[in-house]
Structure 1
Amino acid sequence: MSLFQSEEMTLCQLFLQSEAAYHCVSELGELGLAQFRDLNPDVNAFQRKFVNEVRRCDEMERKLRYLEKEIKKDGIPMLDLGENPDAPLPREMIDLEATFEKLENELREVNQNAEALKKNYLDLTELRHILRKTQVFFDEMGAGGTGSPAHLGHSEGSPDHDEHTGLLSEEGQGRTGYQTSKLGFVAGVILRERLPAFERLLWRTCRGLVYLRQAEIETPLEDPSSGDQVYKSVFVIFFQGDQLKTRVKKICEGFRATLYPCPETPAERREMSIGVMTRIEDLNTVLSQTQDHRHRVLVSAAKQIKNWFIKARKIKAIYHTLNLFNLDVTEKCLISECWIPVADIENIQMAMRRGTERTGSTVPPILNRMQTTQDPPTYHRLNKFTRGFQNLVDAYGIASYREVNPAPYTIITFPFLFAIMFGDAGHALLMLLFGAWMVIKESSLLKMKSKNEIWNIFFGGRYIILLMGIFSFYTGLIYNDVFSKSINIFGSYWYVNRTQAYLQEPDVKEVMLDPKTSFYDYPYPVGLDPVWQVATNKIAYLNGYKMKISIIHGVVHMIFGVVLSLWNHVYFRRPINIFCEFIPQLIFMLFLFLYLCILVFHKWIYYGARMVEGRYNEHCAPSILITFINMVLFKGADKTEPPCNNYMFTGQEILQKFLVLAALLCVPWMLFIKPFILRSQHNKKMLLEGKVHQTGGDDLESGETNGIATEDTNASTAPVPATNGGQTAAPSSAGGGAHGGGHGHGEEEFEFSEIFIHQAIHTIEYVLGSVSHTASYLRLWALSLAHAQLSEVLWSMVLRIGLAQKAWWGGILLWAIFGAWAVLTVSILVLMEGLSAFLHTLRLHWVEFQSKFYTGQGYQFTPFSFKDMLAAADGLDAAD
């Protein structure tokens, strides 16, 4: 019943002791059946009573996110056992804060120590490479006979650098020989990508009076601050004089090059190298121990972090909800208002009693039902099967409170109308298998918590996909269409009544089969006879067949929608809408469009090739479309030759005129009667109120004293919550409107012109919509034929190429072509065509069906629920 009509809701007032409020709200959060209202809308969020507690919870979440980030950085799995721990007690919040603070401080200290150790390790590693590379530089120059560079006019990387750089000419040796012993040098490490610019600036700034040697460090080094692997190079710069030394150091500083002390003599370099290696080994040991300690801390935290997140979020949600409450004058009681389902009042009371018992309080909580004219929220009890179909309806609009819900009927009509457009048993089988796989593997797929939005959409509609596959497989068997081919299970019920010699004549390319002599006495058992697959008039035959069944299904679907509107009118106490809207709408639909469907069935049953009476042979069968057009235009049937009759049955002409006249009379019936009745009721009400005012109100109580339900005030109202099951008063803004489910907040001023215009709009919308909506269902026929033809084209233009090859390599070609055909089938015919049929089916439900009875002007019931809150938090974490 909850799926057919939303749950009865009531507004309640809760009185909770200050000491027990936390526990009561915690129990209500576990139950998830109360939607709290903010009783402090004008109070700033930073001025509410529990703002400090909310900030403490935010701080706990920040620390947990820091721990989670470090755990993910190390690739440590976080255990998720599916546990749902209870919200901690307020005093436990202090212990959690202390635990998180200790873990954060310990982890930050470990990280700082590790970063400092890695920085020292990097420095020692770079110094080791410098000592190794510079030894090679000095050995090379020593082999040149000078022990140091003698010519400083060129530098590697300078624009005029050539193969003679660093070589000693006789002239240069004579001029600079006395200076060679005074050369100074600096050694360091620089990022490899900065080296070219570093060389150019060095040469230009020092005017070529420096000598640069560099060598790449083959292995990448770890940056201690970011953890990235970087490539660096070792360099040595020779210069002469303190002035050049100052320039060189400034340039090194600008390019963030690291300079290291390098001894001048080989013995000192070897001694330093040995010391560096020893220190590196010691650092490796300390680093290993530091990493082990960090790993142990993170592994211990990973076991509990999921539960910690749940506890912190529950505490925060509780205090955030408590901020919606009011304090009484004594500050010993918290007052709140919430919407709850009437059927769950006892569960709510039991949950609050459990919360009170946890605190040891003897004062029970109080729950009072309130009277209100506000619109209650809409709440449907759903399960994993019905949720997907309800989401389809809610995407159009949330149902108004207590109006008829289209979801239970959508469970059947949606996959069925989809199947009419997607009627191929082969493609449907692929969809069916995919939907069945998602349903069977539901539990394991839920645990994956995928971040892919497209996959989540498919998985959320797994039961819709499953039903669409089942229904499409059925319609595929009815159409006898499997990957554009037919299956021949029962054999054809047609036979060729021709001789073999006649069929083999060269002029005979096709033969017309006569139903009188070439068809057995029994119809084909299931679906379409497979002989139509090879018939040249296949499309012409299927056109008429699918067009007619599309109109029949559409008319039945719309009539059902009109019938559902009766429930809304009865429930919301709108008798005037029954007599002035429902009855004329139903008559208009039945007398015109249902009569059209009856003519289709009459033609199918009475007219045929083997009919004994001559008036019913195949040549006398009239066109249903022409008959309907002539009927609406009050035009007589076209003249026919005997033995055919002008009409399909006796009295058809008189009956059709009566039906059209009755349907036309329904238009002024819908347009004029209701506004004038409402005006008459309003005038009587005003007269009665005037008499009440004159007599002091002793004799008359309301505007319904004379037994007339006033549509513009209380005729459309449901009982108020405090007196009749929690339903809310719902006066209509314009005499109840055209559909049920509208809820107002009070009595509005009566304006006859507005009501008349409103009624005129709805009348025109219904009359014109009935015609356009009926034609709109022809998309069932159009998309079905388009899908079948596209499937046939894909078969004949792709797969047939491989099947036509008779040579030995035909199998290899068929294997490749089948792969292409399979990819195109899945991507185009299943995915794209399936999505197209899905959208058209959605439109038929939203516009053609739901417009007859559904307003969708409500708002969703969003209770305070830990389950929903945690699911939303997990979704945000997955998005991040």
Structure 2
Amino acid sequence: MFGDFGHGTLMTLFAVWMVVRESRILSQKSDNELFNMVFSGRYIILLMGLFSVYTGLIYNDCFSKALNMFGSSWSVRPMFTSPKANWTEELLKNAPVLQLDPNVNGVFNGPYPFGIDPIWSIATNKLTFLNSFKMKMSVVLGVIHMLFGVTLSLLNHIYFKKPFNIYLGFIPEMIFMASLFGYLVILILYKWCAYDASTSKIAPSLLIHFINMFLFSYNSDNDNKNNIPMLYSGQKGLQCFLVVCAMLCVPWMLVLKPFMLRQQYLRRKHLGTHNFGGIRVGNGPTEEDAEIIQHDQLSMHSEEGEEPAVEEVFNFGDVVVHQAIHTIEYCLGCISNTASYLRLWALSLAHAQLSEVLWTMVMHVGLHVKSIGGGILLVLVFAAFSALTIAILLIMEGLSAFLHALRLHWVEFQNKFYIGTGFKFLPFSFESIREGKFDD
């Protein structure tokens, strides 16, 4: 959801109104299809509004303006009183902007208690700072979200009693993602904590380090020429180890599982395990691997009313192709899915800029008229500002944020544990039971 305290509050109040008057609205049975669609998603809209309020407080953004709740942690006075400062009155007159130097004692008094410092709303490098912050936060949240999805797949494997999927699927998948993108999250958090104002000029680029990690480019001469210092001691050895671990996970997922399943099938066949009418009989193991076993129904109507026999046929080629597709999709998906979470940054940037444009080009006009007619003009301008805010920033941007969030959950998150195969859903019905539509 977009991060704006003001717009989130309006959306939350609208959702609360629909929830409180739920029974009365249902009794009226409105024929307005558009309103009925919005009313059906009242609880989702309520959650969207609450999350927008929370994110807006973090971004300190309310109708494109910052809230000065705790005062600013920046002060310009020490720059003129410090003996290290070289500021003169002539320089101040000729300088188009004033640059705050956090290296001077007293200029920066520590992090803001909650959210973004309000002074950034008037800074000329506001977009540069916020873009970097929101981009990294999107990557951090995205990787955590995907790791949670992979963890949910473990619960599926345990519930369906498929140990092969745990040892040959979940473990290498978790190692692959944690070794590469989990390590990237750790680098982001480490850089935020390890560098301060005095060392920020020598802070290396995480993107260059991440690319060099895959290329094994650790030539000290090249690093010195390109001004790319190491983040910490032992970084080269650790990164080489993580890349090797990630590369070993690819054949682990690609090769081992088909051969292990083939060996399990041969062992079942040797022990005389069969499957008749969906009921397993014999002395073989009881684990089921439905995703790689093809059941060919052989008609054995020796007696009338007898259930047809089912024989397990293991196609090794199909299993290899299926596992290769899954491995390639997962490995490439880790890269594309991580990049896809950057849409959180893009949506926040687009909403903030649209909100600022509306304030500057609409509301700003009515507030700067000093004549008597300024009051009347302000009423008209505020009406236009409200209509545009509701139509563009709440309805259109809210729908866009909902669709993008739905895509992130369906594609990037649920593909880590949801397969969508199994039995066709049939609602409970006594008539279906009498007709024998339900299988045992």
- TM bucket normalised to smaller: 0.7 to 0.9
Corresponding residue number in structure 1 for 2:255: 672
Corresponding residue number in structure 1 for 2:241: 658
2:108 aligns with one of 499, 502, 520: 520
2:200 aligns with one of 595, 613, 618: 618
- Asked whether 1:533 is paired with 2:108, we answer no
Change (3 A) 1:513 1:530: same
Amino acid paired to 1:472: S
Taking the aligned partners of 1:519 and 1:434, their CA distance within structure 2 comes to 43
Which residues of 2 match residues 325-474 of structure 1 at below 5 A? 418=1, 422-474=2-54
Q: CA deviation at 1:480?
A: 0.6
- Asked whether 1:715 is paired with 2:287, we answer yes
TM-score, normalised via structure 2 length? 0.86
**Secondary structure in structure 1 of the residue aligned to 2:313:** coil
Taking the aligned partners of 1:507 and 1:859, their CA distance within structure 2 comes to 75
Q: CA deviation at 1:504?
A: 9.0
Corresponding residue number in structure 1 for 2:223: 639
Instruction: Deviation per CA, 1:137-172: give whole Å up to 9, x if none.
Output: xxxxxxxxxxxxxxxxxxxxxxxxxxxxxxxxxxxx
Q: CA deviation at 1:688?
A: 2.9
Taking the aligned partners of 1:560 and 1:473, their CA distance within structure 2 comes to 25
1:502 aligns with one of 70, 75, 89: 89
Amino acid paired to 2:264: Q
Conserved? CA contact 1:580–1:669, under 8 Å? yes
- Asked whether 1:786 is paired with 2:350, we answer yes
Change (3 A) 1:445 1:608: same
Which residues of 2 match residues 186-205 of structure 1 at below 5 A? none
Taking the aligned partners of 1:576 and 1:735, their CA distance within structure 2 comes to 14
Corresponding residue number in structure 2 for 1:734: 292
Instruction: Deviation per CA, 1:364-404: give whole Å up to 9, x if none.
Output: xxxxxxxxxxxxxxxxxxxxxxxxxxxxxxxxxxxxxxxxx
Taking the aligned partners of 2:89 and 2:311, their CA distance within structure 1 comes to 85
Change (3 A) 1:684 1:505: closer
Percentage of identical aligned residues: 53
Taking the aligned partners of 1:735 and 1:760, their CA distance within structure 2 comes to 16
Conserved? CA contact 1:564–1:853, under 8 Å? yes
Conserved? CA contact 1:502–1:508, under 8 Å? no
Change (3 A) 1:747 1:843: farther
Conserved? CA contact 2:74–2:109, under 8 Å? no
Corresponding residue number in structure 1 for 2:265: 682
Amino acid paired to 2:206: I
Corresponding residue number in structure 2 for 1:739: none
Change (3 A) 1:758 1:590: same
Instruction: Deviation per CA, 1:5-60: give whole Å up to 9, x if none.
Output: xxxxxxxxxxxxxxxxxxxxxxxxxxxxxxxxxxxxxxxxxxxxxxxxxxxxxxxx
2:361 aligns with one of 758, 781, 797: 797
- Asked whether 1:851 is paired with 2:435, we answer no
Q: CA deviation at 1:442?
A: 1.4
Corresponding residue number in structure 2 for 1:483: 63
Taking the aligned partners of 2:188 and 2:427, their CA distance within structure 1 comes to 49
Amino acid paired to 1:770: C
1:827 aligns with one of 370, 391, 403: 391
Q: CA deviation at 1:862?
A: 3.1
Instruction: Deviation per CA, 1:604-634: give whole Å up to 9, x if none.
Output: 0011114xxxxxx112211111111100111
Give the superposed CA RMSD: 2.3
Q: CA deviation at 1:567?
A: 0.8
Taking the aligned partners of 1:777 and 1:681, their CA distance within structure 2 comes to 40
Amino acid paired to 1:758: H
Change (3 A) 1:632 1:703: farther
Which residues of 2 match residues 31-430 of structure 1 at below 5 A? 418=1, 422-430=2-10
**Secondary structure in structure 2 of the residue aligned to 1:509:** coil
Conserved? CA contact 2:351–2:393, under 8 Å? yes
Amino acid paired to 1:443: S
Conserved? CA contact 1:733–1:748, under 8 Å? no
Q: CA deviation at 1:640?
A: 3.8
Q: CA deviation at 1:456?
A: 1.7
Change (3 A) 1:459 1:505: same
Q: CA deviation at 1:423?
A: 0.1
Conserved? CA contact 1:678–1:735, under 8 Å? no
Conserved? CA contact 2:213–2:239, under 8 Å? yes
Corresponding residue number in structure 2 for 1:593: 181
Change (3 A) 1:826 1:667: same
- Asked whether 1:567 is paired with 2:155, we answer yes
**Secondary structure in structure 1 of the residue aligned to 2:413:** helix
Conserved? CA contact 1:802–1:814, under 8 Å? yes
Q: CA deviation at 1:703?
A: 4.8
Could you list the runs of 5+ residues in structure 1 that have no partner in the other structure? 1-417, 611-616, 693-700, 717-730, 737-744, 866-880
Taking the aligned partners of 1:489 and 1:824, their CA distance within structure 2 comes to 28
Q: CA deviation at 1:530?
A: 0.3
Amino acid paired to 2:94: D
Q: CA deviation at 1:845?
A: 0.2
**Secondary structure in structure 2 of the residue aligned to 1:511:** coil
Taking the aligned partners of 1:624 and 1:688, their CA distance within structure 2 comes to 56
Taking the aligned partners of 1:703 and 1:660, their CA distance within structure 2 comes to 44
Amino acid paired to 1:646: P
Change (3 A) 1:762 1:503: farther
- Asked whether 1:702 is paired with 2:282, we answer yes
Conserved? CA contact 2:7–2:62, under 8 Å? yes
Which residues of 2 match residues 542-581 of structure 1 at below 5 A? 542-581=130-169
Instruction: Deviation per CA, 1:763-785: give whole Å up to 9, x if none.
Output: 00000001000000000001100
Q: CA deviation at 1:685?
A: 2.6
Q: CA deviation at 1:835?
A: 0.3
TM-score, normalised via structure 1 length? 0.44
Corresponding residue number in structure 1 for 2:341: 777
Change (3 A) 1:860 1:658: same
Taking the aligned partners of 2:415 and 2:311, their CA distance within structure 1 comes to 26
Q: CA deviation at 1:444?
A: 1.0
Q: Which has the higher helix share?
A: 2
Conserved? CA contact 2:265–2:314, under 8 Å? yes
Amino acid paired to 1:492: S
Corresponding residue number in structure 1 for 2:427: 862
Change (3 A) 1:854 1:430: same
Taking the aligned partners of 1:747 and 1:853, their CA distance within structure 2 comes to 29
- Max Rg structure: 1
- Asked whether 1:836 is paired with 2:400, we answer yes
Conserved? CA contact 2:176–2:246, under 8 Å? yes
Instruction: Deviation per CA, 1:38-89: give whole Å up to 9, x if none.
Output: xxxxxxxxxxxxxxxxxxxxxxxxxxxxxxxxxxxxxxxxxxxxxxxxxxxx
Corresponding residue number in structure 2 for 1:756: 320
**Secondary structure in structure 2 of the residue aligned to 1:832:** helix
Q: CA deviation at 1:502?
A: 3.1
Taking the aligned partners of 1:645 and 1:790, their CA distance within structure 2 comes to 37
Q: CA deviation at 1:506?
A: 4.2
Considering Cα pairs closer than 8 Å and 6+ residues apart, tell me whether 1 or 2 has the greater RCO.
1
**Secondary structure in structure 1 of the residue aligned to 2:53:** helix
Taking the aligned partners of 1:837 and 1:431, their CA distance within structure 2 comes to 13
Taking the aligned partners of 1:618 and 1:735, their CA distance within structure 2 comes to 58
Taking the aligned partners of 1:770 and 1:633, their CA distance within structure 2 comes to 18
Instruction: Deviation per CA, 1:165-206: give whole Å up to 9, x if none.
Output: xxxxxxxxxxxxxxxxxxxxxxxxxxxxxxxxxxxxxxxxxx
Taking the aligned partners of 1:759 and 1:546, their CA distance within structure 2 comes to 36
Conserved? CA contact 1:515–1:609, under 8 Å? yes
Q: How many residues align?
A: 398
**Secondary structure in structure 1 of the residue aligned to 2:107:** coil
Taking the aligned partners of 1:433 and 1:540, their CA distance within structure 2 comes to 33
Taking the aligned partners of 1:746 and 1:622, their CA distance within structure 2 comes to 63
